[in-house]
A and B are shown apart, each in its own frame.
Chain A
């Protein structure tokens, strides 16, 4: 059965800290891995990764994929209270007859002032 597992499930840090969130997967016919940030509303898109070893970066956030070891990490440097959210990892399969994203359970990040 396809599976996406995130760790840790929750994390509390102080402003200025750097955090690393993990996502491992076992999915047949892998196509891409996506990261989303979910506050009390819609999950907002952060990154889409398809190739191993290529870092995607946006401001203080960055992410990388390892297709050999089947995991991805999301790094947030110099954290701010506005980074507090649930971070979701999802995997898309390559089959053309499904648009299904398989989500992990999420990592809840709390950044304290």
Chain B
């Protein structure tokens, strides 16, 4: 049973470009979570999605960031007009059920903004 898959593993963008990060949850999991880990900091929650629904986006920056989890295909975290401060590791997690259940993490996407 494959774990949570994320791609790309490393992404380099110049300021002002768009970054698209993809996450495929574990088989049988319909709940997806995105976290950001800035250098020397802990993991910070960004957004929680189920298929075609955003359940909790309380950790998402108000501008430039969006997330989706379509009926078919992976979840996408999209960052428009990236800035240097967006450089971080972005982790996706999935769970079979919702709140309070164990979340299993993917390997992360390391975004570097030049």
Query: A and B from one assembly?
Result: yes
The number of chain B residues with a CB under 8 A from chain A is 28
The number of chain A residues with a CB under 8 A from chain B is 27
Interface mask (B36-75 → A, CB under 8 Å = 1, otherwise 0): 0000011111001000000110110000000000000000
* A residues near B56, Cβ cutoff 8 Å: 97-100
Could you tell me the dominant secondary structure of chain A's interface residues? strand
Cβ–Cβ contact A100 & B58, under 8 A: yes
Q: Known contacts A41-B108, A42-B4; is A101 also within 8 Å of B103 by CB?
A: yes
Q: Give the segment of A29-37, A53-61, A63-71, A73-81 that binds chain B.
A: A29-37
Shortest beta-carbon distance from B31 to chain A in Å:
6
Shortest beta-carbon distance from B50 to chain A in Å:
9
Cβ–Cβ contact B91 & A43, under 8 A: yes
* B residues near A103, Cβ cutoff 8 Å: 35, 42-44
Closest 3 CB pairs of A and B: A99-B48, A31-B100, A98-B56
